[in-house]
Amino acid sequence: MKRFVWRLQRVLDIKAKEEQMKKAQLVKLAEKLARVRSELLTQKRILDSLISDITGESPKTRLGKQEFFLKCSKTNSELIGKLKEKVSELESEQRQKNDEVLKVKRFKEGLEKLRAEAKTRFIAEAERLEQKELDERATVGFAQKKQCVKS
């Protein structure tokens, strides 16, 4: 019996590799986003910790620490703002990558469905041809036996 060969198999293979590649990119992006969120949370905790330390001090010692805190908090606030921007950029990039993965996955699934249909048609055609050949052999065999009996 002839082997099943599908002309679009190469395209399906390429799309499967593309899907894997895009999923890997999405995972890397998610890891990067997690790192940035962690850094943002750390910076916020540092500020909260400093504020709680300062509020626990006596008014005489608190003044110097408040001055230092106010100088540092501007820089820290800018850093937090940049981290928030980075998080929003990474989230939008993640949504975009997710859309790309879904698009490639749908295309690949469509190709897989076409391949399954083509294989089903191929098998049905092969079985039909095999049955036709068997019928011809049976007919020829019957005719030969009939001729042998007449002779």
Lowest mean pLDDT among 57-66, 73-82, 92-101, 103-112: 57-66
Look at residue 136 and tell me if it is in a domain. Answer: no
Look at residue 142 and tell me if it is in a domain. Answer: no
Look at residue 111 and tell me if it is in a domain. Answer: yes
Q: Supply the range of the domain harboring residue 111.
A: 9-122
Look at residue 105 and tell me if it is in a domain. Answer: yes
Query: How many domains would you assign to the chain?
Result: 1
pLDDT of amino acid 1: 59
CA dihedral 97, 103, 107, 112 (to 10 degrees): 70
Angle at which helices 59-150 and 9-55 cross, to 10°: 160
CA distance 51 to 62: 11
Q: Please give the average per-residue pLDDT across 9-17, as a whole number.
A: 95
Look at residue 19 and tell me if it is in a domain. Answer: yes
Look at residue 138 and tell me if it is in a domain. Answer: no
Whether 50 and 136 have beta carbons less than 8 Å apart is answered as no
Q: How many CB atoms lie within 10 A of CB 36?
A: 19
In tens, the pLDDT along 137-150 reads 999 888 888 787 77
Q: Please give the average per-residue pLDDT across 73-95, as a whole number.
A: 92
Q: Where are the beta strands (DSSP E) in 54-126?
A: none
pLDDT of amino acid 109: 96
Q: Please give the average per-residue pLDDT across 93-106, as a whole number.
A: 96
